[in-house]
Structure 1
Amino acid sequence: MLAVLGNSIFLTNFVSASVVINEILFDPSGTDTGLEKIEIYNPDATAADMGGWELYPDGIGYFPFPVGFSLAAQSFVTIHLRTSGTNDAANLYHSAASLNMGNSSGSVALFRFGGRTKDTIVDFVRYHKPGSSEKKTWESTAVEAGLWAAGTYFDISGFSEGSSIGLTADGVRGSAASWQAFASPSLGSANAVGSGSIPPPPPAAPEGTPPASEPAPVPAPPPAPPPAPSLGADAGPDALAIAGAIIQFNGLAFGLDGKPLDATRYFWNFGDGSTQEKQSPTHIFHFPGTYYVNLLVQSGHYAGSDWRTVSVLPAEISISEVQPGENGFIELTNASAARVDVGGMFLTDDRRAVFRIPQDTVVGSKSTVVLPALNTHIVPTTYVDLRDARGVTLDAARFSGMLPPGVSWERDGYEFRPQSNPTPGKLPPSSPGASAVTPRVSVASPSLPASPKPQPPPGGPPVEPQAPVGSSLPPAPPPTIARKTEQSALIGSAGVKPYAFLGASVVLGLLTAAGMVVLKRKAF
């Protein structure tokens, strides 16, 4: 499923769900910060597209897998927590993690792209030392998805610092019984079952069975202090968006009892230097990149927070075909590899008419959307512009000359040429800037009536807002009036040749007559 926030992008990754959490190092020797790791394994015979997936080590924040990341068949990838590095096929870095993993209790959940539900959770594991404060976020969701048994966990009693826990057989999950401890962690490679493995604690003796020997009484350690109470917060699902798009955010807060709460403060940090203090703000990311958005909720003395990731891509929306007239249309093409919500963008023409595209108008990857003039009331004669929510021009169509009824202007590289058979909704074969200009079916130029050079409307065209310095948005394509003038010259070239021949004949005759006069004078 593809989630939409304003002009955000929404993708679905239907890939293998066999990818598993394979090994966890939650208590490394010495300092934990920067040394904790989680290993993911793909046991399938084909690669798994994990772009946009999320890994959640309980309590430290969600790790989004980079867009385009693919885990090769029968391969491992290690996620390094609270440290920075260069991502590659075998190592990813969760530098935005806010805390370390629990050493006495914790859980790890893996979600594919599309939110965090029973339908998107791919794997789950919980470890726990009896008597410790429990950490089991997403257990109920994993139970509902059939991935875990409620109330069960891998017992880490007797677990030693520096050891890891992992699946006994790589890629074979099932329950807590599928896990064991390893004295020698092997993240990034197959789990080494053998001398390095730590046997699980012996099962408890049945009730009423006397112990073999009465051990000396050992004072029980004091119970671990309960965690400080905090509010629940939900910043919404992760999403993809395009630069210049309006993104709608909506924050939720939950009380200590887990019920919705009207928090007294919602504070958003969008990760690009911008902040807002309201429950449901809108925001525009001006440049492509990956942004980690934080929501802080407060009520009285209590607070809570949540993170979400917004991956912002360059805008690749263009005007591909225009048919003038009240019954015409404007066709937009999405050249990107993602579905795009173009809501909030607007069109304007030489009559200074403006049409803002409604929110949640989604264009599929490598697809088009056709906007009829009956809905937009945009009836251009010389140009039409497409602008993003900021007013920055994304594309411009320039054309001249009158068209016969039923004929459209079709993009051919940076220019627009007549199309005798309009094809609204059909993906054009060429895109702006393409080196090969090949129109689908062009109207013969001589069939077009001549027209005067188009003039701007009174007052000139609407003032175009300037893009910020360094903007990655493409410049508007150059006007094509000069190109059409060349075509007009070609249209009349067949009629010019006879007159040129006649003129040359007259000049030659005059020169001949002058020569004969000179010769006669010399004869006398």
Structure 2
Amino acid sequence: MTRILERNKMKAKIKFSFIFVFVLFWGNIANAQIVINEIMYDIEGSDDGREWIEIWNNGNEDVDLTGWKFNDGSSHNLNEPPKNGGQGSLIIGAGSFAILSGDAELFRSEHPSFNGTVIDTVMSLGNTTDTLSLINEAEVDSATYNKEMGANGDGNSLQLVGSSWLSVSPTLGQPNSLNEEASLVEAATVSGEMSLVVETEDLMKKRILVDIGNDKNVIVGASSVFEALAVGLEKEPLQNARYVWSFGDGDTKEGENVLHNYQYPGEYVVVLNISSGKYSASDRIVVKALPADIIISNIDNEKGFLELQNNSNYELNLSWWMIKSENNYFTLPKDTIILANKKMILPSKITGLNFPDINQTFLLYPNGETVFQYGKIVANPLIKNNLGVKPPSKANLEANPTSRAEGNGILGIPEVSAESEPVKKEIVGTEYSQIEDFNKSQIAFVGGAVDGLNLFNKWTFLLMGLILISVVGILFSRKMTEEISLEEETLSADDFKIID
């Protein structure tokens, strides 16, 4: 009996040890997909607030950095964007990059074209040597460098390529992979195996080619197809190649044909690198992401909801877009889709937002830039002279009686000057009117007060017509009277004949 009890205890210990090791191992695998990928430790000029590192999620799942710390000798919190000028989110998508900066606002001002995630933290990197680490309860990844490795004030950064750190030009938000020829030359220089240079020359004689088309325009939030055409050494269709796309906004994908959507407007350089064995090739285009035609179409405090409307012919992905009411924010979760020409209702119970001043409600891109402000005119470059206008309610007019006299036009709606080209005008609220030709029609406004204005215009034209008819009648009657008087003056007694 005693042996049986001891045997059961031993089995229980073994099971517990197995579970403990499995949990520990699994946790390390989940964290291991975030690595320190690039280090800018010595900037030309002053380093104060300008140092940064790039981290990379090389796994297949998103990673939430909430609660993580950065350590450069001391542990520092990661501030959730948009705090201190950060942009993006603490959630790093699979295959995506993020910048940790000692001053996020300063970093963005010095790199205005960078559209990826920027996270503010405290950072003081040594100019001679240092060890950096990412911590999520336990250490996730670390990197040690020294100035002999390069990038010490020459404008380059240290980049992790394979298992080696190389000093090359910064590649913010993009993979650190060099082309095959450069990699071989670098390897030959570092290892002293100069025989590899001969192989490099052979590689340069034979090349594979790839083409991703011409520059193009896309719609923000809408998924766009990016396609590649690759050929081999004999110009045959290339088989079994690796395709790595970089979209210029910090996101990367793999595949011959992929889908990607941009989160806010701008011009992006899309680069495709392909490799097949020891051969490689690349191509690039410029993509212009145009603003999405999406508005806040209604806010109802009594029923507790906010309504978005997609006026475009594309379904839009609103991942990480934000709604701001005064100083409160709600971030739309990943893969929030609004269908083409459809509306989306967001209940206040879910967003946690209320709207004490509905005119201080904003729809924001993930970087914090304004897409639409409720109650304001927002020009849409997609449709020339397309304006979204929210007529003030009766309550707003009563609360702000001076709005009629502030130069904002009738009922507080900003005035629109006439132009010779057609204009499309949208009235934001519970009803909509579209004006297809500004020269051939009058602007139609929503509401009883505006209907009264149109009625007033009709009566005005009618009254002017009556006045014109009256003037013509008076002039005509005067002329007739003058002719009759003239005839009476010219008649004499000889002109009359007495008839018996």
Normalising by structure 2, report the TM-score. 0.30
Structure with greater Cα Rg: 2
Structure with greater helix share of residues: 2
Could you say which structure has the greater relative contact order, defined with CA pairs below 8 angstroms and 6 or more residues apart?
1
Q: TM-score with structure 1 length normalisation?
A: 0.29
